């Protein structure tokens, strides 16, 4: 990166400081044709946007001269040239004078050389031949239009992009975002060596050269300290597209950011530039190399020719951003696009030519820091979400779905109602499952006087599935004259257990803590220092498992039974355990029966036969059959509808 500071141009109309290569003032939008004067080269002679046909020629020459300028070569080349190094060293100390000296040398060299433009000039001349003043005016109009579109697009892009900032932190050349923006604003601050910088490696090097003092100085310049504008348009337009190319191929580079100037507000401003440029559609202007350090590859010289004409004729120098170098604009980009991009690079704050914006309006935005912009963006996104649902509704059903659910529900209710009202209850000969048979067998094995512990843990919702079986099991145990103790750890069973006994008694004990309470009773012992706290809860014997021969778990939750078998049963392996549960829990508990941990499982209405439950204690079994039949029909209907949909889709695909 060049070590020479960029020179700012002061707009003769409003006094705003602009980059040296800027074509239009970033505040008032007026053309800065005076800035685009190169000593020794023909000037445009127009101050109001008129495009001179002669502009491309000196521009072409300049570009051509820059091609061969040793200052535009890469670092290696620069290092090989002691003169250039000396120049760089000098420039670093005195920005203005040195940059002029550099330009002076270039001009002299350009004068000396014949046909320095080479292909560039030929292309420019050819383009110039094609141009007319009217075309330029159209270009101006198109330029303004595109500028407006670019600004809008930029706003949308910012709204969408949330993370782009991070990715923009380092562009493809390795330059950080803030540096690129600084360079955009102050391309003329960079000296020749900056102009030559192109490659990412160089950019990395240049990044390192930005010191705090330089940034501070740059900030001071931007804030309002008037500086002598650099008269010479030392930097011409460069293509922002410039892919990292060798320095020596740089046609022309516009220094954007003075590396020796510190700036803090600039990054924010500079940030805007590449964003804007990135938004430029492909068919629009081509961008100009951001940094003066950008070198234009030879293949882009034609693009530069396209670019330089309108720029020169308009007397404007676009500010070039580093970010623009990321985008390789196609050579076929129109001239207008290139102009657009150049101007756009300056900032989105670029006012329209008809509406000059005051410094106060521009400067705060220009000085907006990157993190401030991020926060503002997030805030605007949040505001934009007002009134909109941001969290997707999980179960947003359509009207048709609701009607379907209602119809099916009513159908089932109607079927059940009719089955209850019409005809007898009937009996259902359901297959007897092996676990249910084992449960019955285990219950039969209970002898007189055996201690049986009943653990309750079910809810009112499943009482119809469990209580018939539980009542029958309690009756069997009572008939066998076994000692039954009913406990629960579920508060709901305190008021629900009354259904199990005719007297409506509550469970004998309430065990606190759920499965932890049972575990504490299973593993714990009475300590020597006194009682355990849980002993205070018991009204009877706190030793729950002492002398127990059988445990019957009455639970509607497979999870509770599983936890019991994991936590309690291993500590009391001698106690046989069986379970009364619901139909939904049975499949999950089957492996425990298969492994021998559960002696038997009686689940729901289907296993009522195993315990010889009276039919009048069960729900209407005819209605049960009707319900099952309806579900079979609905399931088949779902399959058929799906198959039909698939067939229709396939036939439509075939016809298409």
Partner 1 sequence: MSTLDLLLLLAGLVLSLMVFSYLLGDTLLFGIAMYTLVGMTAGFTFLVLLQKVILPMAISPLSALPQTSALLALVPLLLSVLLIWLLFRKNRRTSGIPLGFLGGIVAAALIIGLTRGTLAPQLLSIVDGFNPNKMTSAGLPNWTGIFEAFMMLAGVLAVLFVFHHRRNKKQQDTFNYSWLDGLSGFGQVFIGITFGAIFVGLFSTGLVALIAYVQYLVDFVRLW
Partner 2 sequence: MKQRTPVIAAAISGLVMLAAFFFQPITAPYLGLALNWAIILSSVALLVAIASLVVTHIRFIAKGRKGFLYSIVLVVAFLGTLVLGWYLGLDDPAFLKAIRTVLIPLENALMALVALVLMSAAVKIFRVRGWSILTVSFGLSALVFLFLNLGFLRFESNPGLSQFVSTLQGLPVVGARGLLIGVALGALLMALRVLFGQEALRE
Which residues bind to partner 1, rule: CB under 8 A?
402, 405-406, 409-410, 412-413, 416-417, 420-421, 461-462, 464-465, 491-492, 494-495, 510, 512-513, 516, 519, 529-531, 533-534, 536-537, 562-563, 565-567, 569-570, 582-588, 591-592, 594-597, 603-606, 619-620, 623-624, 627-628, 631
Are 65 and 71 contacting, i.e. CB atoms less than 8 angstroms apart? Answer: no
Residues of span 545-564 touching partner 2 by CB under 8 A? 562
Q: Which is nearer to partner 2, 163 or 395 (CB)?
A: 395
Binding partner 2 by CB under 8 A: which of 216, 352, 425, 532?
532
575 touching partner 2, by CB under 8 A: no
- What is the rounded distance in angstroms from the CA atom of residue 366 to the CA atom of residue 349? 8
Binding partner 2 by CB under 8 A: which of 45, 404, 447, 449?
404
Q: How far is the CB of 394 from partner 1 (least distance, A)?
A: 12
The dihedrals phi and psi of 457, each to the nearest 5 degrees, come to -160, 65
Closest CA to 56 of 48, 68, 64: 64
Are 190 and 291 contacting, i.e. CB atoms less than 8 angstroms apart? Answer: yes
- What is the rounded distance in angstroms from the CA atom of residue 102 to the CA atom of residue 107? 9
H helix runs in 161-259, sequence order: 164-169, 177-185, 192-196, 200-209, 212-223
Q: Which is nearer to partner 2, 376 or 432 (CB)?
A: 432
Q: Choose the contact partner of 378 out of partner 2, partner 1, none; CB within 5 to 8 A by kind.
A: none
Q: Which is nearer to partner 1, 324 or 465 (CB)?
A: 465
Q: Choose the contact partner of 421 out of partner 2, partner 1, none; CB within 5 to 8 A by kind.
A: partner 1
Q: How far is the CB of 259 from partner 2 (least distance, A)?
A: 41
CA 218 to chain centre: 34
Q: In the block, which residue shows the tokens 């016809």? A: 655
Q: Choose the contact partner of 603 out of partner 2, partner 1, none; CB within 5 to 8 A by kind.
A: partner 1
501 touching partner 2, by CB under 8 A: no
Q: Which helix (H) or strand (E) holds 457?
A: strand 451-457
Binding-residue pattern over the window 232 to 251 for partner 2, x denoting contact by CB under 8 A: --------------------
CA dihedral of 85, 86, 88, 90, whole degrees rounded to 10 = 170
Q: How far is the CB of 608 from partner 2 (least distance, A)?
A: 12
Q: How far is the CB of 401 from partner 1 (least distance, A)?
A: 10
523 touching partner 2, by CB under 8 A: yes
- What is the rounded distance in angstroms from the CA atom of residue 469 to the CA atom of residue 490? 19
Provide the 10 A C-beta neighbour count for residue 278.
Answer: 23
Binding-residue pattern over the window 608 to 627 for partner 2, x denoting contact by CB under 8 A: -------------x--xx-x
Q: Choose the contact partner of 530 out of partner 2, partner 1, none; CB within 5 to 8 A by kind.
A: partner 1
Q: How far is the CB of 467 from partner 2 (least distance, A)?
A: 11
First to last CA, the chain: 60
Q: Give the interface segment with partner 2, choosing from 38-46, 101-109, 289-297, 497-505 (CB under 8 A).
A: 497-505
Q: Choose the contact partner of 634 out of partner 2, partner 1, none; CB within 5 to 8 A by kind.
A: partner 2
Distances (CA, A) of 22 to 9, 238, 319, 504: 8, 11, 4, 94
Residues of span 456-485 touching partner 2 by CB under 8 A? 459-464
Q: How far is the CB of 411 from partner 1 (least distance, A)?
A: 11
Binding partner 2 by CB under 8 A: which of 401, 541, 617, 651?
401
Q: How far is the CB of 426 from partner 2 (least distance, A)?
A: 9
392 touching partner 2, by CB under 8 A: no
Q: In the block, which residue shows the tokens 């009276």? A: 614
- What is the rounded distance in angstroms from the CA atom of residue 629 to the CA atom of residue 606? 15
Task: Supply 140's token pair.
Answer: 């101006």
- What is the rounded distance in angstroms from the CA atom of residue 295 to the CA atom of residue 546? 91
Query: Which of helix, strand or coil describes residue 532?
Result: coil
- What is the rounded distance in angstroms from the CA atom of residue 89 to the CA atom of residue 83? 10
Q: Choose the contact partner of 111 out of partner 2, partner 1, none; CB within 5 to 8 A by kind.
A: none
Q: How far is the CB of 533 from partner 1 (least distance, A)?
A: 4
Q: Which DSSP state fits 616?
A: G
């Amino acid at each position: 990166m060049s070590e020479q500071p960029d020179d700012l141009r002061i707009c003769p109309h409003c006094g705003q400081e602009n980059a040296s290569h800027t074509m239009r003032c970033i505040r008032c939008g007026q053309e800065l044709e005076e800035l685009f004067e190169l000593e020794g080269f023909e000037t445009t002679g127009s101050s109001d946007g008129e495009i001179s046909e002669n502009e491309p020629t000196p521009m072409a020459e300049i570009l051509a001269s820059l091609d061969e300028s040793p200052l535009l070569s890469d670092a290696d080349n620069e290092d090989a040239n002691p003169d250039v190094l000396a120049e760089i060293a000098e420039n670093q100390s005195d920005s203005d004078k040195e940059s002029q000296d550099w330009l002076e040398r270039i001009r002299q060299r350009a004068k000396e050389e014949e046909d320095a433009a080479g292909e560039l000039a030929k292309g420019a001349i050819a383009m110039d031949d094609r141009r007319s003043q009217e075309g330029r005016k159209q270009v101006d109009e198109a330029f303004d239009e595109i500028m407006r579109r670019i600004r809008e697009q930029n706003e949308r892009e910012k709204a969408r992009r949330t993370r782009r900032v991070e990715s923009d932190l380092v562009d493809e050349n390795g330059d950080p975002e803030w540096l690129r923006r600084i360079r955009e604003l102050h391309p003329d601050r960079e000296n020749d060596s900056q102009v030559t910088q192109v490659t990412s490696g160089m950019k990395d090097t240049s990044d390192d050269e930005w010191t705090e003092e330089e940034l501070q100085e740059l900030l001071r310049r931007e804030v309002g300290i008037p500086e002598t504008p650099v008269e010479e348009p030392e930097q011409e337009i460069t293509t922002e597209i410039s892919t990292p190319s060798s320095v020596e191929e740089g046609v022309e580079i516009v220094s954007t950011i003075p590396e020796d100037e510190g700036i803090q507000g600039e990054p924010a401003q500079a940030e805007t530039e590449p964003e804007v440029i990135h938004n430029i559609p492909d068919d629009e202007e081509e961008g100009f190399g951001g940094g003066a350090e950008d070198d234009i590859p030879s293949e882009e010289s034609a693009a530069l020719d396209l670019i330089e004409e309108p720029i020169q004729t308009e007397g404007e120098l676009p500010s070039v951003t580093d970010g623009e170098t990321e985008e390789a604009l196609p050579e076929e980009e129109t001239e207008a696009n290139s102009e657009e991009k150049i101007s756009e690079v300056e900032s989105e704050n670029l006012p329209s030519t008809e509406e000059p914006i005051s410094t106060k309006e521009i400067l705060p935005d220009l000085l907006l820091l990157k993190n401030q912009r991020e926060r503002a963006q997030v805030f605007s996104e949040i505001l934009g979400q007002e009134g909109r649902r941001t969290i997707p509704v999980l179960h947003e059903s359509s009207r048709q779905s609701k009607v379907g659910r209602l119809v099916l529900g009513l159908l089932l209710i109607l079927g059940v109602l009719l089955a209850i009202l019409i005809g007898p209850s009937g009996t259902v000969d359901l297959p007897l499952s092996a676990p249910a048979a084992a449960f019955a067998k285990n219950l039969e094995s209970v002898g007189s006087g055996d201690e049986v512990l009943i653990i309750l843990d079910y809810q009112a919702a499943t009482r119809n599935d469990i209580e018939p079986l539980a009542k029958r099991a309690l009756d069997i145990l009572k008939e066998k004259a076994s000692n039954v103790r009913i406990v629960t750890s579920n508060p709901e069973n305190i008021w629900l257990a009354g259904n199990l006994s005719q007297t409506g008694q509550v469970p004998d004990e309430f065990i606190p803590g759920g499965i932890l309470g049972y575990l504490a009773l299973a593993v714990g012992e009475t300590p020597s220092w006194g009682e355990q706290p849980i002993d205070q809860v018991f009204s009877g014997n706190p030793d729950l498992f002492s002398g127990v021969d059988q445990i019957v778990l009455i639970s509607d939750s497979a999870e509770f039974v599983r936890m019991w078998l994991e936590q309690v049963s291993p500590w009391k392996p001698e106690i046989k355990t069986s379970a009364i549960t619901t139909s939904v829990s049975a499949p999950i508990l089957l492996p425990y029966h298969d492994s021998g941990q559960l002696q038997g499982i009686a689940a729901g209405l289907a296993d009522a036969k195993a315990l010889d439950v009276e039919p009048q204690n069960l729900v209407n079994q005819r209605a049960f059959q009707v319900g099952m039949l309806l579900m079979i029909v609905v399931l088949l209907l779902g399959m058929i509808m799906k198959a039909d949909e698939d067939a229709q889709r396939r036939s439509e695909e075939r016809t298409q």
